[in-house]
Amino acid sequence: MPNGLSGFIDRSEDTLQNLKADFIIVGAGSAGSVLAERLTANGRYSVLLLEAGGDDRRFFVQMPLGYGELFYDRAVNWGYLTEADPGLAGRQDYWPRGKLLGGSSSVNAMVYIRGHQADYDEWRASGNIGWGWDDVLPAFRAIEDNEAGENAFRGKGGPLFISANKKDLHPLVENFLAASKECGLPYNPDFNGLNQEGVGHYQMTIKGRRRNSTARAFLRPAMARKNLRVLKYAHVTKVLFSEGRAIGVEFASRGQTYQAHCAKEVVLSGGAVNSPQILQLSGIGPGANLTDLGITPMIDNPNVGAHLSDHQGINYTYEMMVPTYNNILRPWWGKLKVGIEYLLLGRGPLAKSINHAGGFFRSHPDLARPNMQLYFQAFSTVMPKPGQRPILTPDPFSGLSIGLSNCRPTSTGKITLASADPLVAPRIHANVFANDQDVAEMLDAVKFLRKIAAAGPMAKFIKQELRPGPMVTSDANLIADFRERSGTVYHPACSCRMGPDAASAVIDARLRVHGVGGLRVVDASSFPNQISGNLNGPTMMLAWKAAQIMLEDHAAL
């Protein structure tokens, strides 16, 4: 038997005493699920995976367009609120994060983007050896089962099927692509290939009629192995240490407190909010803040929770003269039609994300690479009900949205503890648009978005601009508008960032927490800097490489 496996014979969740494993992974999300699969594959090591949330086998989790129904569902979602943000006109922003098997990969919009090659070369240039583009490309290729096939950049036969998303798209996608071309953006057949710039169809983590989360692609196959135990509803409250080394974790489950111990390592994969929270609860973080809350600092590292980076997005919305998905998703008979189509044929709008197309562009021609991302959605929700994200009940007219988000914001925020109580949500200081550069780039970007809408292939079908509206034209008013209406596009990162020096980072290039043994952080919080695009793909890559690193390290012992 693998080391520590004796605690795995009885898989009942009632037997939570004396849990032992070689590795303990905290969080069964985009990173944790990949780690669990890779670390158990050779059969040598036992793994205990602790997830604060529950199961992913829910209808709206599995149905691709069902993610709108999960947006505010606290049964599967942490449902965080940020602190009031001056950059957002004093508003609090809502940050949904997955709280179930698969984590945010079970509730996201399923767009698969790797990021720009230069993003990773910047990782390596900042002292993180082994994380340049040439270093990470093999991991991306190994993960993928790319529907479009294999080439020098793309993989085939890996555990993660990636849909090319070329069928059953809304007809207005072609108008968007043509209008973008008139504005100077070329068609790009693969944002994850040689070049990122241009517009095209978004690839999706969808397989058949179902969401292809990391729980489905990685964790479910691994759960058949005897050397993996997965505990749901196990909320880790702190890491346990002995003589400067992590030896396990404490966790709460169904009103009781338990401990689990590891022979080798603890790996935090809770994401950009929860991983720094757990470190701080464990005494690793900004010492003065911890002391104020009655937590004895073990390692005073102000970088824990700092350097938080997130992409900010906004939609411009139009009333159309031709039908959009509003016309079919709004009425009861339309819901019935698409429901039958989905259940019987596995096709139609419910079998896809709402982001059929998009792309990347430079808000200024002097930039070396794209700094903005586009999203095309053939539906609109300018009249939402409070507390809802009504993807399945859009506006009662033909509406369309073109959105964008910044790729590499310079403004950074932080995650801090609100309480020493681990069940109290941490404070999220997003600090959006704090730097003039971010404001200037967004201003240029929204002006370009309007150019796309005004180009012939789009303009001929637009009845009127609804948001922000034709009266909003001056720079001051455009800036005021995106401060009042923009928000996260759900890509927080860098809050436990990687770097060679504890004076500016939390973990080293092998993802080990500076100053302690037996503890790593493997998730988007580990990123040294923000990625240009959606983060699910890069997070899976990071976890794949992390598992290789960990197996190498322990094979050498």
Residues carrying an active site annotation: 491
**What are the start-end ranges of the H helices in 212-353?**
214, 220-222, 271-281, 287-292, 325-329, 332-345
Q: CB-based contacts of 18: which residues, under 8 Å, 6+ apart? A: 7
- Hey, how many other C-beta atoms are within 10 angstroms of the C-beta on 142? 16
Best CA proximity match to 271, nearest among 553, 527, 528, 498: 527
Residue 254 is given by DSSP the state T
My answer on whether omega of the bond before 323 falls inside 30° of 0, hence cis, is no
- Hey, how many other C-beta atoms are within 10 angstroms of the C-beta on 130? 13
The residue type of 244 is G
The phi, psi pair for 228, rounded to 5°, reads: -125, 130
Token pair for 109: 């919009």
Best CA proximity match to 534, nearest among 310, 236, 268: 310
Residue pair 398/320 in contact by the 8 Å Cβ criterion: yes
Q: What is the dihedral of CA 162, 168, 171, 172, to 10 degrees?
A: -30
Interior/surface letters 402-411, b for 16+ CB within 10 angstroms, e for the rest? bbbbbbbbeb
Burial class of residue 167 in the structure, from the number of CB atoms within 10 Å of its CB (0-12 exposed, 13-18 middle, 19+ buried): exposed
Angle value at C-alpha 317, between 444 and 392, nearest 5 degrees = 135
210 DSSP β-pair partners: 207
252 DSSP β-pair partners: 235, 257
Kind and range of the H or E element at 477? helix 475-485
Best CA proximity match to 253, nearest among 531, 17, 547: 17
Burial class of residue 557 in the structure, from the number of CB atoms within 10 Å of its CB (0-12 exposed, 13-18 middle, 19+ buried): exposed
- The half-sphere exposure of 425 on its side-chain side, counting CA atoms within 13 A, is 15
Distance between CA atoms of 52 and 136, rounded to whole angstroms? 30
The residue type of 133 is W
Best CA proximity match to 275, nearest among 432, 496, 73: 496
Radius of gyration of the chain (CA): 23
Burial class of residue 62 in the structure, from the number of CB atoms within 10 Å of its CB (0-12 exposed, 13-18 middle, 19+ buried): middle
Token pair for 44: 């040598």
